[in-house]
Structure 1
Amino acid sequence: MARYQQIFIKIAAFFRGTALLFNIGVFVWLCLCLYAGYKNVANNPSYISFISFTNVFAVGLNVFFALFWLFTRKRYLALISLSGLLICMPVTRSAFGYNLVGSNVTDSDNVELKVMTWNVHLFDLGEWTKNKESKNKIVDLIKQQDPDILCLQEFYFDNDNPNEPYTEMLRQLGYTYYEFSKEEDLLKRSINIGAKPEDIIQAGHAVFSKLPLKNKVRYSLDSANYYNMLGVDVQLNEHTTARLNVVHLHSVTFSDKEVKFAENRADKLSAKMEDKTKGLLKKLMLASSKRAVQAQIIDSILDKSVYPNIVCGDFNDMPGSYVYQEVKGGLKDAFVSKGLGLGRTYRKIFPTLRIDYILYNPDLLACKGYSSPDVSLSDHNPVIATFSVKEKGAKN
């Protein structure tokens, strides 16, 4: 009997030792995620930026090990992951929504301000969703949510097509004020084969508002003058003005085949698949570097704003990343304030990709609610936040 006890003790010790090694590994992993969040990769592409896309997994595993050790005799070893979660709080706090208690007010009738941002993917112009009603359902959802301020990325209009006057359709919902910032002119037939050969559409991002807008500025974010930030002053009430900024940062531009490759799991990693993986990682690395440059430009613009800032849009980057940290600065993330769970906003590849944000100045606003409806009308889910207004004047 004693012999079996000794064997059991040795096996238990082996598993504890193995668990400890893994725990140290995920602790280091989380610290690398924090490092990646502050590593400036602007004009200096680095594979370290890719680690930001693994933030959620690093946080989740450290939570697992903290709980694991609490149910063993070595409870003190839970301090390894607990200390990592505390040290890496900028990553930990933004990775998951922990708001299990407290109100989450999303009804526009019970708040002073409701903001909605959505990458509408050209209103499914390419019929990617395989649903011909998607464009009408997008407008219906906006009508249902009834935000005071609506920010749309990958918006477009076609003045020559009476069936696609989305600007007028939305303004008829009560959005008196409207601003548009063009990214490019597109040959419509390159997206939808049913279009006429000469049809041209204007694509970019737009703001529709029930509140007065003024002082629009289009800030260029790259040398090609393609990516840009739309800035506009919003009169929230008689005494309060905010600076609303809408962005769509550099995309990774994966092809459909690359997206499918990333989504599918394979039993064996062949040499060909290994090359594809390296190609995907290189694209992520280069795109992260370009977004870092854009984030620095945005940070300098926000810092010069006369009014408190609100930032909405598609960052194409994860919470805790350098891009996120640089743009966020002293602003708060509506998801962190009121969100719950993973907060996925991008519908492809991984269920952990939260890349669309509403950031706000906490001296200006208090977040009352957050939601991101899971709807298959675009490759992104909409992001919605409600607020009460606190600020009574401009920033000095």
Structure 2
Amino acid sequence: MKKLSLLDKLLFFVNSLLATLLILSYLTYFISPNSISLISIISLSVPFLILINLIFAIYWLIKLKKQFLLSLFVLLIGFPYLTKFYNISEKKILLESDTKIMSYNVRMFNKYKNIKEEGVDKKIIDFITNKQPDILCLQEYSNDKKSILKFPYRYTFSKKKSIFGQAIYTRYKILNKGSLNFSSPTNNNAIFVDILKGKDTIRIYNVHLQSLQINPQKEELTKENGEKLRKRVEKAFKIQANQIELLKLHMAKSNLKTIICGDFNNNAFSWAYHQLKENKNDAFEEAGKGFGKTYDFPFPFRIDFILTDESFPVNNFKTYPVKYSDHNPIMARISFNNN
């Protein structure tokens, strides 16, 4: 530290704090919000912490200072996290026999004109039709569109008095279906269908976990509302934890191979994601490219997922940057042929 300027000493102090925070953030993967709710909030900052520590490592390396080892060490500890944040190359195996699975939070097809342009609902329908998914999971679904999407089988569900629901459309016969009916106070939910693919029965979950209720365009992050915002986020994380426990109990009662799609309202560094990914592959990690940003936020924020049974090869994954909702649609190409 003796050879550092006053400015560099200050920067290294900040670097040390952020490196420590990144190490602590790795623990959020394993700690339930019902145990320590505050630490769960740190998981939201993991992408930023990774990026800023990378910048610090590069900064010190350019200056030929050994201080670069601090951030480098912290990044190496969390190396498995890096593929959740960014993928260098896309896997491109496009087979005629692939099953295409799409997940999309459509924000009620722009029913309340959040996007100030005409025909957004039609653009969403046209986009889905053009991509021709075999299985389609929609969150924040509006029932008045169910006759427009042309699939031979569908299951739609909305809670009583809820302004939105969920839908699963499929080209495969539905043998069984149901809703998990997340308890109040929430309009969010999880539904499922058991589909017949060849001789196999596969369960598809469409999950929409509790929203954090943060609007990045309208939220004023001032000292006055900071505490209120923290309590709101902590409460949402606890509700998510209870929803996940219910979902895991439901999955444990079935021996079917399972795919989980949906809007988790949480990122890939959270306890929520870690619980749902157990014995699953993240289709983005397996075959996607880039940051995989799925939510309209200034920083790359991936909160929509397709998690597949480990026995199902993921041949391709796409995130589509279309501006018809506050979420981007995602689609995976999955092979069932070997099962």
Q: TM-score, normalised by structure 1?
A: 0.78
2:305 aligns with 357
- 1:18 shift after superposition: 4.2
> Share of identical aligned residues, percent?
29
1:260 aligns with 218
> Which amino acid is 1:169 matched to?
I
1:249 aligns with 209
- Find the partner of 1:58 among 49, 52, 55: 49
- Find the partner of 2:129 among 130, 135, 143: 143
2:119 aligns with 133
Matched, 1:210 2:171: yes
Moved more, 287-296 or 381-390: 381-390
Q: Provide Cα deviations, 1:223-272, integer angstroms capped at 9, x if missing partner.
A: 55843311211223x24332110011111234x6x84134xx8xxxxxxx
- 1:181 shift after superposition: 2.2
Q: Provide Cα deviations, 1:304-326, integer angstroms capped at 9, x if missing partner.
A: 33112110011111111111111
2:335 aligns with 388
Moved more, 66-75 or 26-35: 66-75
- 1:129 shift after superposition: 0.4
Q: TM-score, normalised by structure 2?
A: 0.90
Change in CA separation of 1:366 and 1:327 when aligned onto 2, cut-off 3 Å: same
Gaps of 5+ in 1: 1-8, 159-165, 187-201, 266-272
Contact 1:184 1:204 in 2 (8 A): no
- 1:11 shift after superposition: 6.1
Change in CA separation of 1:78 and 1:367 when aligned onto 2, cut-off 3 Å: farther
Contact 1:45 1:286 in 2 (8 A): no
Q: Secondary structure at the match of 1:260?
A: coil
1:270 aligns with none
Q: Secondary structure at the match of 2:149?
A: helix
How many residue pairs get matched? 339
Matched, 1:80 2:70: yes
Separation in structure 1 between the aligned mates of residue 164 and residue 14 of structure 2, nearest angstrom = 48
Gaps of 5+ in 2: none
Q: Secondary structure at the match of 1:368?
A: strand
Q: Secondary structure at the match of 1:215?
A: strand
> Which amino acid is 1:308 matched to?
K
Matches within 5 A, 1:1-396: 12=4, 14=6, 17-42=9-34, 46-74=37-65, 77-89=67-79, 91-94=81-84, 96-100=85-89, 103-105=91-93, 110=96, 112-158=98-144, 166-171=145-150, 175-186=151-162, 203-223=164-184, 226-236=187-197, 238-254=198-214, 259-262=217-220, 273-347=222-296, 349-363=297-311, 365-389=312-336, 391-392=338-339
Separation in structure 2 between the aligned mates of residue 216 and residue 79 of structure 1, nearest angstrom = 53
- 1:366 shift after superposition: 1.2
> Which amino acid is 1:245 matched to?
Y
Contact 1:334 1:385 in 2 (8 A): yes
Q: Provide Cα deviations, 1:69-88, integer angstroms capped at 9, x if missing partner.
A: 4445445x544333322333
Q: Secondary structure at the match of 1:181?
A: strand
- 1:141 shift after superposition: 0.2
- 1:335 shift after superposition: 1.5
Separation in structure 2 between the aligned mates of residue 127 and residue 13 of structure 1, nearest angstrom = 54
1:3 aligns with none
Change in CA separation of 1:183 and 1:83 when aligned onto 2, cut-off 3 Å: farther
Contact 2:44 2:269 in 1 (8 A): no
Q: Secondary structure at the match of 1:40?
A: coil
Query: Alpha carbon RMSD of aligned pairs, Å?
Result: 2.6
Q: Provide Cα deviations, 1:114-169, integer angstroms capped at 9, x if missing partner.
A: 110101111111111011200000000001111110100111224xxxxxxx2221
Separation in structure 2 between the aligned mates of residue 322 and residue 360 of structure 1, nearest angstrom = 18
> Which amino acid is 1:41 matched to?
P
Contact 1:213 1:232 in 2 (8 A): yes
- 1:10 shift after superposition: 6.4
- 1:208 shift after superposition: 0.6
